[in-house]
Structure 1
Amino acid sequence: MTILYSGDALNQRIQPHADLASILHQSLDSYGPINGSSASEPVIPPPGFYHEKDKPDRDRAYITAKLFLPSSNNQTDIIDALDTYTKVTGSAHIKHFILSLQDVTFSDEKAESCPDSAIFEAWETFTGAGKRYPELIEEYGISELSTRRLTQLLSSIDSKSEPTPVPTIDHINATDCCALPPGLIKISRERSIKLLAHHDPEDILPKEKVDELSSRLPTKVTRWKWILRFTSIIKDRQILAGNEYLVCLE
């Protein structure tokens, strides 16, 4: 298993709309050959490689973190991602922690491949892992839930005897945000859930990109296990101040 750290992508000499693989390649280019002691680092490049001036000013910002998970995942993966995050950032407070499942895409009409029960199980696992860090996470969100799926998730949460956090954000791809279903708008208002747009690709790190990265690493990897993006937003001006990634490959 190898964990790659991008550093703050805003401070790298890279195109503003570069994909994740390009950001990681740029980070590896800056770090240099991985051999000897550098090959044994738990995170590559190690957080200390980046100068303080190249890190976002987290004291003046709030952080939104988005965890991308493949269809097969478990609580250990989420805990591993959060543990790595705390080591890299010094336990910087997360205002919004958003779950993104690889097999879930927004649709109120198309056939949906991921069953509702799997989404609820993933949500329980996600928020359950977060409870291990009671001072770290303020609110939870989820991505790409249609009217039916969001309604079903809320119903499942409400039926639990033990309290389970309710999502405060439904993160929807901008291509689907032009005309949101009235039912989704209605339920989001009733439950105080923000409907926010994003521009993430459906496949954030394709297999061929993983293979390209593998050729630069001391240990062969074949897939990504989890991807955590954390963005820093200046509180008083709502300006993007930092954009960082942690990527676990195995």
Structure 2
Amino acid sequence: MLKNVPTTVRRILVHTENILNLNELKIKAGQNPTDELIESLKITLDRWAPVTNGITDTLEIRGNSGHAASIPESESRSDLKISVKVFISSLKTDALSEALEKVFAVLEVTFIDSLVLAYPSKSEPSMLLPALQELWQVLENYVAWQRLGSIGVSDVDTDVFISLYQWAKVKPSIIQINLATCCVVPPALQEFTKDHNVQLLTHSDPFEILPRSALNDVFGAAEDAVSLFWALRFQVHVKCRGVLASKGYLLCVHRTD
């Protein structure tokens, strides 16, 4: 729980660092992604150390664990594969841009191999597609700047994905679906991804990575006192061994009280 935060702070950035180093999580193996995130945040906030950034309305927090490095220092960058999944809570391009810049800065890298965008939208497909197209243009810019490799989306309807693919300059090369909510992969999506060499992957992330009730509990806030702006999960694999060397979360919340 976060305590003694000045009232002038309106934004809180949290970096869990490499959670593979957290013994508390090791004994709770098999947690679902939301439980893992909640536990990681609680551990981080319990031992937090502020990061001085010169911005008076923003508090940046890292876990004071003694394991600050999120990228294995013993490995060459060319031997690593970095993948990121961004969970944004609103269809705002500034949320996505901020999340991207933050993960580059925290990991101290200039290139991310793979990125998937997730948004828990209940909008009609006709309303969702234009907003996704705006977000996709942000990702396309980062590909053009050679800062992102493959890019994709998570949990969008088949028709929306096909429309996005046909419209995009940089084609999505990944689509993730959650088999917990979609028991069978739609045949049309299977056929399209096969014909267009798109990776069709399954995942176990919940529809909403950090529900409001959990958010309030983690930050010790009254109802609606904090809101999630964006969250992301990074994973670093050693290519030649297929070993997960680092994993962690970054997120940004806004205080609304």
Who is 1:78 aligned against? 96
The code of the aligned residue for 2:208 comes to: D
Q: Which moved more, 1:51-60 or 1:118-127?
A: 51-60
Who is 1:98 aligned against? 116
Q: Is 1:5 matched with 2:22? A: no
Structure 2-normalised TM-score? 0.77
Cα separation, partners in 2 of 1:206 and 1:176, compared to 1, 3 Å: closer
Q: Is 1:199 matched with 2:204? A: yes
Who is 2:5 aligned against? none
Who is 2:43 aligned against? 26
Residue 69 of structure 1 is aligned with which of 70, 76, 88? 88
Who is 1:138 aligned against? 149
In 2, Cα distance between the equivalents of 1:214 and 1:73? 24
The code of the aligned residue for 2:165 comes to: L
SS of 1:44's equivalent in the other structure is: strand
Compute the displacement of 1:75 (Å): 1.5
SS of 1:175's equivalent in the other structure is: coil
Cα separation, partners in 2 of 1:147 and 1:130, compared to 1, 3 Å: closer
Compute the displacement of 1:183 (Å): 1.6
* 1:180-199 map, 5 Å: 180-199=185-204
The code of the aligned residue for 1:185 comes to: Q
Cα pair 2:15 2:251 within 8 Å, conserved: yes
Compute the displacement of 1:123 (Å): 3.5
In 2, Cα distance between the equivalents of 1:186 and 1:102? 25
Gaps of 5+ in 2: 1-10
Who is 1:121 aligned against? 131
Gaps of 5+ in 1: 105-112, 158-163
Who is 1:110 aligned against? none
Cα separation, partners in 2 of 1:224 and 1:241, compared to 1, 3 Å: same
In 2, Cα distance between the equivalents of 1:37 and 1:127? 29
Cα separation, partners in 2 of 1:119 and 1:249, compared to 1, 3 Å: same
In 1, Cα distance between the equivalents of 2:137 and 2:128? 14
In 2, Cα distance between the equivalents of 1:188 and 1:222? 39
In 2, Cα distance between the equivalents of 1:78 and 1:4? 16
Deviation by residue 1:84-105 (Cα, 9 ceiling, x = unmatched)? 112211125211111101115x
In 2, Cα distance between the equivalents of 1:42 and 1:124? 29
Which 4+ runs in 1 deviate beyond 4 A?
A: 34-42
The code of the aligned residue for 1:175 comes to: A
In 1, Cα distance between the equivalents of 2:218 and 2:68? 27
Q: Is 1:248 matched with 2:227? A: no
Compute the displacement of 1:141 (Å): 0.4
Number of residue equivalences? 229
Cα separation, partners in 2 of 1:126 and 1:35, compared to 1, 3 Å: closer
Who is 2:159 aligned against? 148
Identity, in percent, stands at 22
Cα pair 2:86 2:116 within 8 Å, conserved: yes
SS of 1:122's equivalent in the other structure is: helix
The code of the aligned residue for 1:150 comes to: F
In 1, Cα distance between the equivalents of 2:12 and 2:80? 29
